[in-house]
A and B are shown apart, each in its own frame.
Chain A
Amino acid sequence: MKIYKAFLLSLVVILSGVANGYCLSEAFKGNIYQVGKLKPTDSVLRVKVGDRAPDFTLPAVSGGEVTLSQYRGKKHVVISFVPAAWTPVCSDQWPGYAIVRDLFDKNDAVLLGITVDNIPTLFAWTNQMGKLWFPVLSDFWPHGRVAGTFGVLRSDGTAERAILIIDKAGTIRYIDVHDINRRPFLESIVEELEKLGD
């Protein structure tokens, strides 16, 4: 009987992977590593809405470093954690943000993209996306420290697909640790930004 149960379980796992082609763009051709369907979330948040966001400094692909607190009193900050370079969904997320800078500007916000990859990997990957207007930051070393501080580091060392919005006062106003297999809709970010005002 056990063998039947094990077999049926395997069957379910195999079938769940059938409809999983969410990295769509031909821009990446065959270079996207298919990870299959993953556990939707795999971490425990260490911050909550209303908390002061933990400060961090990370190196940017474009050079230099970006510190979260440099925006305090000046801009709202949207942080987009994505799991890893060259994986499905992630590769079709930031290119969309690349064409909506005005939606962030209009709401007096900046966007920071963060992954746990190193700079050379991020350089090659983001070059395939066209020109990104926002800083792409590497949380590679110490590995995933910033993701871990927020509680969005998964047990396999990748980050969650998460959106955090931090207001000008440095307070966390929105957290969406999204199903890693799905891309959050753009309107969910814009609606939250519009609530913040000045």
Chain B
Amino acid sequence: MKKFVQCVVVAVAVISSLYASAAQPPAAGELLPEMKLAVPVEREHRAYLGLSSGDSFEVQQVKADVVILEVMSMYCPFCQKEAPNLNELYRLIEGNPKLKGRIKLIGIGAGNSAYELKVFRERYQVPFPLAPDGDYHIHLSLGEVRTPYFIGVRIEKGGPRVFYSKLGGFEDAGAFLEEIFRLSGLKEKG
């Protein structure tokens, strides 16, 4: 009987820790969970991220001060609706000499294959890289968030540190960018 009770205690601890680690999206102040994203096939996307070659990369390797991750899916109606806003956000960043090169966007296609993301990119003329997560491995590490979900990280020496973590899209790309700028602590250059 004593063994059985010990077994129950251990099992409850294991299950609790699993739920705790798997169910929570990254919070502001935490380091982004380790994840490997597929290096984009498109040369312009590799150049945008500052990557040379290889099969996979980590967010920490992105040449930027701030990276905004959008957890999305080709199959998600809200992500489809949100696509033009993301494109506008990209244009606002790239069109601003003070921000261009400092803030980068990456979409993570939860449950999506590279083919499905290619379809999505063509459909919505998405100008920034979309990384497949066909087996939901990354999605699981991010707490199985609903989509679209936005995570802003600041690239620091110790790793990508989360400063923004929020479910749902935004209506105004300019206002969203201002919020990202403010929360990230980026200082204006030039």
Question: Which chain A residues have a beta carbon within 8 Å of chain B's beta carbons?
Answer: 3-4, 7, 11, 14-15, 18-19, 21-22, 24-27, 92-93, 95-96, 98-100, 103, 128-130, 183, 185-187, 190
Task: Check if B170 is an interface residue, CB within 8 A of chain A.
Answer: no
Q: How far is the CA of A164 from the CA of B138 in the complex (A)?
A: 30
**Cα–Cα, bound, A92→B73 (Å):** 9
**Per-residue 0/1 for B129-146: is the Cβ within 8 Å of any A Cβ (1 yes, 0 no)?**
000001010011000111
Residue B32 at the A interface, CB < 8 A?
no
Q: Flag if B77 contacts A25 (CB, 8 Å).
A: yes
The size bracket of the interface on B is 35 or more
Given A18-B18, A19-B22 in contact, is the A96-B147 Cβ separation under 8 Å? Answer: no
CB distance A3 to B4 under 8 Å?
yes
By beta carbon, the residue of chain B nearest A95 is B77
Contacts of A128 in B (CB 8 A): 77
Q: Which of B52-60, B85-93, B99-107, B110-118 is the contact stretch?
A: B110-118
> With contacts A15-B18, A18-B19, A185-B116 known, is A96 near B74, CB below 8 A?
yes
A-B contact pairs, 24 of them (CB 8 A): A4-B4, A14-B15, A18-B15, A18-B18, A18-B22, A19-B144, A24-B139, A25-B73, A25-B146, A25-B147, A26-B78, A26-B148, A92-B76, A95-B77, A95-B80, A98-B80, A99-B80, A100-B123, A129-B77, A185-B116, A185-B134, A186-B74, A186-B113, A187-B116
Please state if B110 and A4 are interface contacts (CB–CB under 8 Å): no
- B41 located at the interface, meaning its Cβ lies under 8 Å from any Cβ of chain A in the complex: no
The interface residues of chain B, by DSSP majority, are classed as helix
A11-B11 CB under 8 A given contacts A26-B148, A187-B116: yes
In the complex, the answer to whether B4 meets A186 with C-beta atoms within 8 Å is: no
How far apart are the CA atoms of A11 and B14 in the complex, in Å?
A: 10
Check if B146 sits within 8 Å of A99, measured CB to CB. Answer: no
Question: Contact at A130–B77, with CB atoms within 8 Å?
Answer: yes
Report whether A4 and B7 are in contact in the complex, using a CB–CB cutoff of 8 Å.
yes
Q: What residues on B are CB-neighbors of A21 within 8 Å?
A: 139, 144
Q: Is the CB of A187 within 8 A of B115?
A: yes
Task: Report how far A150 CA is from B113 CA in the complex, Å.
Answer: 29
Report if A92-B148 is in contact (Cβ < 8 Å); known contacts: A99-B123, A186-B115. Answer: no
Contact yes or no, A19 B77, CB < 8 A = no
A14: chain B residues at CB < 8 Å are 15
B110, A186: Cβ atoms under 8 Å? no
Residues of B close to A92: CB separation below 8 A: 73, 75-76, 111
On chain A, the residues within 8 Å of B110 by CB distance are 24
Bound CA–CA A156/B120 (angstroms): 35
Determine the residue in chain A with the shortest Cβ distance to B73. Answer: A24
Docked-complex contact A24 and B146, CB < 8 angstroms: yes
